[in-house]
Structure 1
């Protein structure tokens, strides 16, 4: 429902209703702004505010303005209950925290990422044009970052990997080494989904599918194992949701393309293969310390949860309790290096698993609330028919799988909020007339 002003309104007055009629523009801007370099060097700082964060907060402000003006925002009872449970769990964890004052900033961040921005995105999406606009912004951001990452790999100007500056990190730098792979993955899935929505044989379909194919290269040379796994599984689910027969055909094509990409074209060749094989190697002379450290961090999170089982130790408490609960072999940090920041040792301040992070910091109450939200979004998106389904399911699956290897933090965290908002918009519709008709 669009808002209008009298004809005698000022020029500025005309612009505000236009933005209110299409707030998905601000959602798209939030996605695109993650590409702006922040030059953040203090990775241990408690608060990071990026241009994308500011845009997301402006989107939340527009949501608040809609509420004050009495406009329906499409938030149904199920969505209210699910997001309300997240707020309650985080609030209880903060109140019972080992350090409530330190947990307060964590509570605010959790509210932004898992409640306020997703609800604002849900309210901003009103028709299929809005969906295409947001998915298009994911593709545009991925193309920018993928192009930068490809140049970094080919010219040896990226982050250090096995002693060579070949790791694609886009505009994010070595201190946020996984950010580019996430952005590229989202764009690849969005391009694939939008391409399947286009008419067979059309130039738009071909262009989108070629874009998805191009993004496979910078994703490969990001050397992010979690992103590889998440993208492969998400793309499979996306294709199954779109067309089961098509999924089977494309599985063979994808395998052939991977062989050509890695073997024939030398996209990191042995490096990619070695990186994949290191996932399960945690002992012996050839273990990957980044893998063993991650598993040790999970063990640490479980130990913290055992001491605070119901409401957890409190947001931002993992980093305080890590050393007292960690195995002796856990490294103090991860080595990073690039041309901009030089060599730095990045501290391991989280378990690198969102589920273990919630369990340790918010306990059984928190993991139940988050698990219920994620399951409701996934089941709702899978069950609902329509052209938007594959895109939403693919992006949501990526986030849920990636949470097994990563947690919130870094420049691109706000993109998780946008995806959760997309999923809530599709999976938890409150008013069918404000949603696109099933195709």
Structure 2
């Protein structure tokens, strides 16, 4: 039987008109547009902050305003999508702190201060992290935001090294040599925190195996950034930041494998030798500061003694009100009634373009004790439990990423940042302009733990 040829007319294909080069460039980089609010929130922290422009004064910094735009943008984007933006587990982990913060606000003796604290806690631990979970949908998105943190750290670190070299930094043992970046002596931990974040991210990129499609020079550049950021980190003279960075990077090294660890440790040792050997007279100050870490019990200095007194005061506040604490922003009002008589009235700040001032001690300089004293067992269970859940799920995702061979760098960065913050909270708490970057850190950790597709 003969087969008839197909005589049906074939559709005529018309060549699509060539798009102009400008339009092709716009289409190529269109994916970057939604990330601009997040990147702006990070990079605006490079703007100088005047004296008193801290959270305690109630003033909003440009980075705080940008974080508000980020939250609003992600909320509108989620509403327009008309889909459930979060899984049930993600909503539980991110929403648990809201309950604790609301209860502590109701327990506050000063309603105005309680509301201010409610807004700040909501921004740092709920709204900004949730916004990043909704925003970061791919591995590329994650790395862009993380890369902006490294860029900020390099800028702040370079300014901090300049302050040390020229004697224009914050006052330390009678000399204006302490590197504080653009944050000034009123937020003496700001630059150290930013630089440590950038260092942890750089180490995570250097430890992770090269992913398909990644630039070949990414790992050498990351190693260079990590080595460069060690200098301003040391010149910050921040003992708590040093401890948190060493522990976080050590754990990341173990999680990544021992082969990469040898290279990182070699670079770290070489950079340390160059740093101490080239610091000249400053090397003695650095050595004394490092040695003081082991003297916090035998021969503590005045700052350590004050911290012990503040910790004891926070514990006493919790014993009085174990369930709800004294309420948000209640620590300063109850401090004198619980602190020892040897507690200083404040800490002296000077240098870095600001005149001498005495900063009052308004917190216990320990985030866990601050939550315990102001929010009680309810707060410490729900808020710290949320962090523990993010860490546990993040570690599980990292193990899966290593088996699958993709997204390892995102997992190492997220896990390292969260570990760093959990350790640093033993010696510090939220406060100051750099706090908004802490919110971004929790957002990166939450995005990794609660959006597994972000590793693709």
**TM-score, normalised by the number of residues in structure 2:** 0.86
Q: Deviations over 1:76-128 (max 9, x none)?
A: 21221122220011111111223333211101111111100110011110111
336, 346, 349: which one pairs with 1:336? Answer: 349
Q: Deviations over 1:337-384 (max 9, x none)?
A: 104212111111011111000000000000000121111111111121
- Alignment-derived partner of residue 202 in structure 2: 191
- Alignment-derived partner of residue 11 in structure 1: none
Bigger shift: 61-70 or 301-310? Answer: 61-70
C-alpha distance in 2 between matches for 1:70 and 1:253: 47
C-alpha distance in 1 between matches for 2:445 and 2:82: 22
170, 173, 192: which one pairs with 1:162? Answer: 173
Bigger shift: 47-56 or 198-207? Answer: 198-207
* 1:278-289 superposed matches below 5 A: 278-282=292-296, 287-289=300-302
- Alignment-derived partner of residue 327 in structure 2: 314
How far did 1:263 drift? 4.2
Structure 2 residue 119 is matched with structure 1 residue 92: no
- Alignment-derived partner of residue 416 in structure 1: 438
The number of aligned residues is: 417
Contact 1:282-1:291 at 8 Å conserved across structures: yes
Structure 2 residue 236 is matched with structure 1 residue 222: yes
Structure 2 residues not aligned, in runs of 5+: 1-25, 402-406
C-alpha distance in 1 between matches for 2:125 and 2:221: 34
How far did 1:250 drift? 3.1
How far did 1:19 drift? 8.0
Give the 3 Å change call, closer, same or farther, for CA 361–280 of structure 1 in structure 2. Answer: farther
How far did 1:280 drift? 4.6
- Alignment-derived partner of residue 59 in structure 1: 70
- Alignment-derived partner of residue 358 in structure 1: 371
SS at match of 1:49: coil
- Alignment-derived partner of residue 10 in structure 1: none
Contact 2:107-2:327 at 8 Å conserved across structures: yes
**How much is the aligned-residue C-alpha RMSD, in angstroms?**
2.3
Contact 1:73-1:123 at 8 Å conserved across structures: no
**TM-score, normalised by the number of residues in structure 1:** 0.89
C-alpha distance in 1 between matches for 2:372 and 2:35: 33
How far did 1:199 drift? 4.1
Q: Deviations over 1:258-296 (max 9, x none)?
A: 244224544832212221222353577x53111111121
C-alpha distance in 1 between matches for 2:322 and 2:30: 45
How far did 1:22 drift? 4.2
Bigger shift: 149-158 or 63-72? Answer: 63-72
- Alignment-derived partner of residue 205 in structure 1: 219
Give the 3 Å change call, closer, same or farther, for CA 211–365 of structure 1 in structure 2. Answer: same
Structure 2 residue 192 is matched with structure 1 residue 181: yes
SS at match of 1:342: strand
Give the 3 Å change call, closer, same or farther, for CA 44–212 of structure 1 in structure 2. Answer: closer
Structure 1 residues not aligned, in runs of 5+: 1-14
C-alpha distance in 2 between matches for 1:152 and 1:290: 23
Give the 3 Å change call, closer, same or farther, for CA 283–233 of structure 1 in structure 2. Answer: closer
C-alpha distance in 1 between matches for 2:287 and 2:38: 37
